[in-house]
Structure 1
Amino acid sequence: MSNIVVFGAGGTAGSRITDEAVNRGHRVTAAVRRPEATSYLSGSVRTVTGDATSARSVRELAADADVMVVALGGGERELWPDAAQTLVDTLRELPDPPRVIHVGGGATLLTPKGTPYLDEPDFPEEYRDAALGQAEALAVYRSSGDGVTWTYVSPPPLEFHPGERTGHYRTGTDHPVTDEQGRSVLTYEDLAVAIVDEIENPRFPNARFTAAY
């Protein structure tokens, strides 16, 4: 059993990661900006006010944590790199820091040409700021050096949506995992499975992975 802090536990990804972890017997602390708005989370979840961009908040929550999951959404472009930098800078000061698992963007995955999906000319403009912010967060982790163990998780770049939990998926690294039709598809529920699997059996320390069917 692990002690897991989930930043953004009230969101689409964070709530599913929280549920998956609780259902497997882990202790979960939901770190959210408005605890009163997360009554739908499991009663066994400890809900606190938390901010991944605050060094003080990260330090306090890290004290009893084995893993800190960053599942933030709906913010300005700076949210994701700010959170990544705060976690790296704060946790490396601790004698035994928790691991970081950052739920990142699928648009940072690479096309067959070797360029990020966010650089494609038809990439939706309404998602560009978030995609750029997640790309900057990945760069923060990759340049972080020693002292913090992190894993950056990218869902598929296009077909990623709420749905059924099957418990099945395949993993890759910097390119999307595709099926026989060339599609890369995954539900939020099975992304949560992949993340909790990584918590229980780490396979991608200091690396990015992606998952799809």
Structure 2
Amino acid sequence: MSNIVVFGAGGTAGSRVTAEAFNRGHRVTAAVRRPEATSYLPAGVRVVTGDVTSARSVRELAPEADVLVVAVGGGERTLWADAARTLMTTLRGLPDPPRVIHLGGGATLLAPNGTRFLDAPDFPEQYRDPALGQADALDCYRASTDGVPWTYVSPPPLEFHPGERTGHYRTGGDHPVTDPQGRSVLSYEDLAVAVVDEIENPRHLNTRFTVAY
């Protein structure tokens, strides 16, 4: 059993990771900006006010945690890199820092020609800032020399939606995992399965991996 703190537990991905971890018997703390708006989380999940870009919040929650999950969204481009920098800087002083698992962007994955999906000329403009923000966060983790263990998880770049929990998935590195038809598809529910599997059986320390069917 692990003590898991989920920053952004009220969101689409964070709520599913929270439920998946709790249902497997882990102790889960949901760190959210508005605790009163999380009644849909499983009873028994501890809900607290928390902000992953606040060193104070991280200092308060980190000592009791084995893993800090970053599942925040909906902010300015700087949100995700700010979160990464806050975590790396704040945790480095701990004798046994918790592991960081960052739910990152699929558009940071590499297309067959080696360029990022977010750099394609036809990439939707409304998603560019969040994609660039997630890319900035990945760069922060990769440049870190603080000794804080981290993992960055990317869903598919396009076909990623709420759906069915099958419990099955495949993993890859910097390129999307594709099926025989060339599609990379995943549900939020199975992303949560992959994240909790990674917590229980670490296989991607200090690197990025991707998940799809």
State the alpha-carbon separation in 1 of the partners of residues 56 and 15 from structure 2. 24
Identical columns (%): 81
State the alpha-carbon separation in 2 of the partners of residues 115 and 146 from structure 1. 28
Q: 1:146 deviation in Å?
A: 3.8
* 1:77-109 per-position Cα deviation (integer Å, ceiling 9, x unaligned): 010000000000000111111000000000000
Which amino acid in the other structure matches residue 144 of structure 1? Answer: S
Contact preservation (8 Å) 2:88, 2:146: no
Unaligned runs of 5+ in 2: none
Moved more, 26-35 or 145-154: 145-154
Q: Which residue of 2 aligns with 1:159?
A: 159
Contact preservation (8 Å) 2:14, 2:72: yes
Q: Which residue of 1 aligns with 2:87?
A: 87
State the alpha-carbon separation in 2 of the partners of residues 148 and 63 from structure 1. 13
User: Normalized against structure 1, the TM-score is what?
Assistant: 0.99
Q: Which residue of 2 aligns with 1:122?
A: 122
Secondary structure of the corresponding residue to residue 178 of structure 1 = coil
* 1:46-83 per-position Cα deviation (integer Å, ceiling 9, x unaligned): 00000000001001100100000000111110100000
Secondary structure of the corresponding residue to residue 28 of structure 1 = strand
Contact preservation (8 Å) 2:104, 2:155: yes
Secondary structure of the corresponding residue to residue 48 of structure 2 = strand
Secondary structure of the corresponding residue to residue 63 of structure 1 = helix
Secondary structure of the corresponding residue to residue 93 of structure 2 = coil
Contact preservation (8 Å) 2:151, 2:207: yes
State the alpha-carbon separation in 2 of the partners of residues 91 and 4 from structure 1. 15
* Structure 1 vs Structure 2 CA RMSD: 0.5
Secondary structure of the corresponding residue to residue 31 of structure 2 = strand
* 1:115-163 per-position Cα deviation (integer Å, ceiling 9, x unaligned): 1000000100000000000000000000001420000000000000000
User: Normalized against structure 2, the TM-score is what?
Assistant: 0.99
Moved over 2 A (4+): none
Aligned pair 1:106/2:131, yes or no?
A: no
Q: Which residue of 2 aligns with 1:145?
A: 145
Q: Which residue of 2 aligns with 1:14?
A: 14
Secondary structure of the corresponding residue to residue 113 of structure 1 = coil
